Chains A and B, each alone.
Chain A
Amino acid sequence: MARYILKRVLRSMITMLIIIMVVFSLLRLMPIEGYFENYDKLSETQIQVGLTQLGLKDPLHVQLWNFLKQLASGDLGTSNIYRKGVSINTIVAEKIPVSLRLGLISLAIALALGLPLGILMARSTRTRWKLWDKFGTVFIVIIQAVPSAAYHILIQFAGSQGPLKLPMLFSQGNLTSYILPIFSLSIGNIAYYAMWLRRYMVDESNKDYIRLARAKGLPGSTISRRHVFRNAMVPLIQYIPNSILFTLMGSLYVESLYSIPGMGGLLVTVIKRQDNTMVQALVLIYAAISILGLLFGDILMAVLDPRISFTRKEGSR
């Protein structure tokens, strides 16, 4: 077990190192406008001096080494355009709580609605009309098939225009303005959790031990609660740390749609303003978050499910 975790951590670190190197090298290919606030007004010598000051004239491997040293001391660099001269750490520290609050609420709602929906759907596949299953499938197909661009816009539109008259844009003090973004954020997750829980529960309930339990006359509710649900949740547990960590980075779409001052909106803004150092830092934060999420998910699953063996190589399932 310890060996497995160690191996898993090592692999994540290698991945992260590769990502850092690739992202850093690729962003050196970007036009140098992205390092100056007022590029058009600067003379050629000023630009050259500025580049030397930023250390961009050094050979690539020297730059990369400096950047790695800087990262190791916990410094993400400073913004050049978005808020000139301000440390990116400070900017990010302001943005994370906003995304985190909205994200955690919506994740809680998604789990509270998605899991029961999945259970209802799985159980109704054994009834005659399969009403819940049909209803849930229609919902999931719509959420899966319609691009998120379309349904987020429609949610914003329907909520703000119809009889509800909810605020269209987000504002910190106004609690009613939280409703639409939270709804937008959670609806995809509801469909996701319901879809996979149903899938795993249906697979699980065709196994022999469940058939035995049914044959010996255990009530259906006990079977699905005690046996099916527990085993079906194991693969889903893997996604939960990921979902929690993902709330840190907010949603690119939802945040820029409702102009929420969070992490997701920030990436879109700095891309539009072409602030190279900010883009680099944010991409690295995002990558780190998703790698950590997968790592925690795998470890959690390994700890929770005693059936997973560590002697065989992962992936040779």
Chain B
Amino acid sequence: MKSYRSHKTEQLGSALEAQLKKELSAADMTDEELFSFAGFDASAAERGGYSNYSYWGATVRAFFQNKIAVFFLVLMVATLAFTFIQPYLPNQRDPITIFYNESGRTLSNLSPGEQGFLFGTNNIGQDIWSRIWSGTRTSLFIGFTVACVEAVLGILMGVLWGYVRQLDFFFTELYNIFDNIPQTLLLILISYIMNPGVDTIIFALCLTGWLGMARFIRNQIIIIRDRDYNLASRCLGTPTRRIIFKNLLPYLVSVITMRMALAIPSAIGNEVFVTYIGIGLPLDTPSLGNLINTGRELMTIPSLRYQLYFPVAVLAVITISFYIIGNAFADAADPKNHV
């Protein structure tokens, strides 16, 4: 406590001193000049304040000041770019082809680097390197789709819920009922009932994912919908649509982007989870969940542990990057942090 206070006092003192010195040195005029009348300058009265503030410019600048976030951004962009370029690179193998040697036996469980398999092969002789990147594509596709649906539905429902007073009761009761159902349970139930596949997982995750977003937007809109500037807009006869898009939603950009960025890793994590308990994606669709699951089964054999390490590492890089970038961007998008 004390050290903090004295530290602050010191800081303030030195800042004041520096400012004083600067002002004194700027005024190197003689006493005569200093004590004469300045006179009236008409052009000076015309000079108005002007700011070249641009919201997105300031957001980007604030974001790039966060060095850790920039590091993860570079890392993530590199990983994403590589994920999509990888199939077009020369000498890539198909992720679901099983490889045989000359005598017709499968090339199973080759260790990394052996016979040109960069990450080795799995227990039935498939190339782990291409499986990992193909699996990352599947997982990212799930993540992005879920995040987009969540954002669109969440914003739409949240705006209706918050802005249209007649709907408030209906949505609130609906939310109270659905909020009581654990999401994991719903995910398990839907995956159990429907055919396993990418679309089932996306459906299950989208079904309730937007509720949290909608509630958040609703709360924010209720706070700001009757502020003076919105009241003024309404009195001037601005159409509701314009109020929503121009007055309300720009206020919420930071929270929306953050929730979207966080929805991606959580969707990927959920995919890994349902695949792990055996009702996720079928085995012939490579995904990070499938790879981790097969890797985990082989964990007891020390020489085969690489089959677990590689997918877990890719998963960790992707999710941590999204998480940190999402948080940093939300901070940067908040105009309060632009000063």
Binding site for B on A (CB under 8 A): 11-12, 14-15, 18-19, 23, 26-27, 29-30, 126-128, 141-142, 144-150, 153-154, 156-157, 161, 168, 220, 252-253, 256-257, 267-268, 271-272, 279, 283, 286-287, 290-291, 294, 313-317
Given contacts A26-B189, A141-B323, contact A150 B7 (CB under 8 A): no
Query: Could you tell me if A128 and B4 are in contact, using CB atoms closer than 8 angstroms?
Result: yes
Query: Could you tell me if A11 and B176 are in contact, using CB atoms closer than 8 angstroms?
Result: yes
Can you report 29 residue pairs joining A to B where beta carbons are below 8 Å apart? Answer: A11-B177, A14-B177, A15-B177, A15-B180, A23-B189, A29-B193, A30-B193, A126-B4, A141-B323, A144-B323, A145-B323, A148-B269, A148-B273, A149-B292, A149-B315, A153-B292, A157-B299, A220-B1, A252-B184, A252-B277, A253-B273, A268-B277, A271-B277, A272-B277, A283-B189, A286-B185, A290-B180, A294-B180, A316-B168
**Chain A contact residues, majority secondary structure:** helix
| B3 on the A face (CB < 8 A) | yes
Chain A residues whose C-beta falls within 8 Å of the C-beta of B181 in the assembled complex: 15, 19, 287, 290
Cβ-defined partner of A145 (8 Å) among B173, B189, B324? B324
Query: Could you tell me if A253 and B193 are in contact, using CB atoms closer than 8 angstroms?
Result: no
**Chain B contact residues, majority secondary structure:** helix
Query: Could you tell me if B276 and A149 are in contact, using CB atoms closer than 8 angstroms?
Result: yes
Chain A residues whose C-beta falls within 8 Å of the C-beta of B305 in the assembled complex: 157
- Give the CA-CA distance A32 to B185 in the complex, in Å: 22
Query: Could you tell me if A150 and B292 are in contact, using CB atoms closer than 8 angstroms?
Result: yes
Binding site for A on B (CB under 8 A): 1, 3-4, 7, 168, 172-173, 175-177, 179-182, 184-185, 188-189, 192-193, 219, 222, 265, 268-269, 272-273, 276-279, 289, 292, 296, 299-300, 302, 305, 308, 312, 315-316, 319-320, 322-324
Smallest Cβ distance from B36 to chain A, in angstroms? 47
Query: Could you tell me if B1 and A126 are in contact, using CB atoms closer than 8 angstroms?
Result: yes
- Give the CA-CA distance A314 to B1 in the complex, in Å: 39
Query: Could you tell me if A145 and B193 are in contact, using CB atoms closer than 8 angstroms?
Result: no
- Give the CA-CA distance A30 to B193 in the complex, in Å: 6
- Give the CA-CA distance A149 to B185 in the complex, in Å: 17
Query: Could you tell me if A147 and B4 are in contact, using CB atoms closer than 8 angstroms?
Result: no
Smallest Cβ distance from B28 to chain A, in angstroms? 38
Chain B residues whose C-beta falls within 8 Å of the C-beta of A290 in the assembled complex: 180-182, 185
With both beta carbons as reference points, the residue of chain A lying nearest to B7 in the complex is identified as A128
Listed from nearest, the 3 A-B pairs whose CB atoms lie closest are A147-B269, A145-B323, A145-B320
Cβ-defined partner of A267 (8 Å) among B188, B265, B289? B188
Chain A residues whose C-beta falls within 8 Å of the C-beta of B269 in the assembled complex: 147-149
Query: Could you tell me if B7 and A149 are in contact, using CB atoms closer than 8 angstroms?
Result: no
Smallest Cβ distance from A242 to chain B, in angstroms? 10
Given contacts A157-B299, A283-B189, contact A147 B1 (CB under 8 A): no
Smallest Cβ distance from A207 to chain B, in angstroms? 18
- Give the CA-CA distance A247 to B104 in the complex, in Å: 51
Chain B residues whose C-beta falls within 8 Å of the C-beta of A29 in the assembled complex: 193
- Give the CA-CA distance A308 to B176 in the complex, in Å: 18
Chain A residues whose C-beta falls within 8 Å of the C-beta of B300 in the assembled complex: 168
- Give the CA-CA distance A290 to B186 in the complex, in Å: 13
Cβ-defined partner of B273 (8 Å) among A147, A271, A317? A147
Chain B residues whose C-beta falls within 8 Å of the C-beta of A142 in the assembled complex: 320
Chain B residues whose C-beta falls within 8 Å of the C-beta of A253 in the assembled complex: 273, 276
Given contacts A15-B181, A145-B324, A147-B265, contact A315 B193 (CB under 8 A): no
Chain B residues whose C-beta falls within 8 Å of the C-beta of A154 in the assembled complex: 312
Query: Could you tell me if A287 and B185 are in contact, using CB atoms closer than 8 angstroms?
Result: yes
- Give the CA-CA distance A161 to B179 in the complex, in Å: 41
Chain A residues whose C-beta falls within 8 Å of the C-beta of B324 in the assembled complex: 141, 145
Query: Could you tell me if B299 and A153 are in contact, using CB atoms closer than 8 angstroms?
Result: yes
